[in-house]
Amino acid sequence: MASFARHAGSLHESATMNLIGRAKALRAAGIDVISFGAGEPDFDTPDHVKEAAIQAIREGFTKYTAAAGIPELREAVARKFAADGLEGLTAAGTIVGIGAKSVLFDAITVLVEEGDEVVVFAPFWLSYPEMVASTGARTVLVPTDAAANYVIDPDRFAAAITPRTKAVILNSPGNPTGTVQPDEVQRAIGRLAAKHGIIVIADEIYEHLTYAPARFASFARLAPDAHDLTLLVNGTSKAYSMTGWRIGYAGGPKELVDRMIRLQGHATSGPPGICQRAALAALTGPTAPIEAMRRAFDARRRLMVDALCKMPGVACPVPDGAFYALPGVGSFLGRTSPGGRPLPDVSALSEAILDEVRVAVVSGEPFGAPTAVRLSYACGEDAIRKGMDGLAKFFAGVR
């Protein structure tokens, strides 16, 4: 067997995908499992979006598209991002990819190489460091604190900057924390990025899922000093319940986006035209379905967080956005599960919870939160109640 590329060999399996697979296997075997693993809305895709896809099929819009996406969707993306604060952006400065994950990977691949550094704030979406590692570059982690609701300390960011810092990834509202970074924090990050010439990759995929009193404001709007260094990344998966349609998009410096388009042209080509037509309908259509989902997620958030906060030994910051809770469970580590299993770390804890009370939660370790677990409340209220009962029973039985 030939040897493999060193950087690819260092990548880890996605913890969320692994957990989803285990939960599905148990369900297939007839075992009832409550899953808080997937970051996937349980709502159907809005009807007007589905109708746009059906119409595209009827029209025979089923051939290859340009690598960067269809012109009308790129125009819509440019209008959206210009309204978000990237003033002057045109369709030429945009790219439509196969999910926001693909667009992020393109950006990191063309930006950094061995010897470069990318700043990531912890806890983080678990794929960010893996994407950086695939290029040979180094991830520099800047911690945030649960006691401060995971708000970024700009002084910590400033201390992490070196001559090798090429980019910083900002995710607000965040996965797995649900934190919406305050305006003044984002402005400070923008000033530092402008001072040091650092590209800011602003992942704003959860922009529509924020809960009062928090509010969303795009990094591009808040940090005009970093206008020429800002790449906005977004997509249709979360707010429009279009995870399986696989449409993400980005906009920013044309020189950067041009390179992303070239890479995508060789790696995947453009996304399916049918899905792009659906995404166009989502971006330009009615917003009532978004608001209905947001209200439902808000109710689920309060239901889950209230239940978690009542469990002795569990500490759960209140998330401002997205659909995740990140409760601290460090008080249970080093002890024994109700079924007699040792709990040396959160991975063992998560496995014991799944095996003993049939509730699927994700270990916080691959998210940079080694004493926490991530729970998604993108599921029904009945499932949340049942799952919270299972967790309460499990934690009460830890010895």
Band of the pLDDT at 288, cuts 50, 70, 90?
very high
Contacts of 74 (CB under 8 A, 6+ apart): 68, 91, 94, 95, 96, 249
Band of the pLDDT at 19, cuts 50, 70, 90?
low
From the candidate CATH numbers 3.90.1150.10, 3.40.140.10, 1.10.101.10, 3.40.50.1110, the one assigned to the domain spanning 6-44+289-397: 3.90.1150.10
For residue 155, report the phi and psi dihedrals to the nearest 5 degrees.
-65, -35
Q: 143-196 pLDDT, tens per residue?
A: 999 999 999 999 999 999 999 999 999 999 999 999 999 999 999 999 999 999
Residue 304 has pLDDT above 70, yes or no: yes
Give burial (CB, 10 Å; 0-12/13-18/19+) of 22. Answer: middle
Helix (H) or strand (E) holding 113: none
Cis check for the bond before 370: say yes or no (omega within 30 of 0): no
Band of the pLDDT at 200, cuts 50, 70, 90?
very high
3-class SS of residue 240: coil
pLDDT of residue 21: 74
The tokens for 154 are: 């700009």
pLDDT of residue 311: 98
**Mean pLDDT along residues 48-57:** 98
Could you give the residue range(s) of every CATH 3.90.1150.10 domain in the chain?
6-44+289-397
Residue 370 neighbours by CB distance under 10 Å:
16
Q: 226-254 pLDDT, tens per residue?
A: 999 999 999 999 999 999 999 999 999 99
Could you give the residue range(s) of every CATH 3.40.640.10 domain in the chain?
47-284
Q: Which fold has domain 47-284?
A: Aspartate Aminotransferase; domain 2 (3.40.640)
Residue 45 has pLDDT above 80, yes or no: yes
- Cα radius of gyration rounded to whole Å, the chain: 21
The tokens for 383 are: 């499932």
Q: 122-150 pLDDT, tens per residue?
A: 999 999 999 999 999 999 999 999 999 99
| 57 in Cβ contact with 274 (< 8 Å) | yes
Q: 326-353 pLDDT, tens per residue?
A: 999 999 999 999 999 999 999 999 999 9
Beta bridge partners of 336: 342
